[in-house]
Amino acid sequence: MLLDRSREGPNPYRPLMGFIILALLVGVSGSFFTEANIPTWYAGLAKPDFNPPNWLFAPVWTALYIVMAVAAWRVWRITGLKSPELGLWGAQLVLNGLWTPLFFGAHLLLPA
C-alpha cells in the first residue's frame, strides 16, 4: 500500500503527538488505581521469583504505550482513522485502560 501523505498537513508529527498523548493518558489514568495498592495489596500477593522490581514497571509501560502510539500513527498514515486496524488499536487501548482498575482497584484478578 502506498503512503498517503495528504493526511499529514504542514506538521507531519502533530498527529503523532495526538496518538502519544492519548496512549499516555490511558497509562497515566491507571496510576490512580495502582499507587496506593502497590505497597499494600500488591506487595502481599504471592509472585514468582522472576517478578520484576516495582520501579521497572513505570518506565517499561511508558515505553510500551509510546511504541503502541507510534505504531498506530504509522497505520493511520496508510489507512486513515476509520480502519479496522485502528479500530483494533482503540479496542486494545480501552482494554488496557480497563485492566488496571480491575486488577489494582477492584482486586479482580481473573477478569483482569
Would you state the cell numbers that stand for residue 65, as one nine-digit string?
504505550
Looking at this protein, which amino acid is placed at residue 53?
P
pLDDT, tens only, 50-95: 999 999 999 999 999 999 999 999 999 999 889 999 999 999 999 9
Would you state the cell numbers that stand for residue 5, as one nine-digit string?
501523505
pTM of the prediction?
A: 0.83
CA distance 43 to 54: 10
Within its chain, how far is the Cα of 80 from the centroid?
A: 20
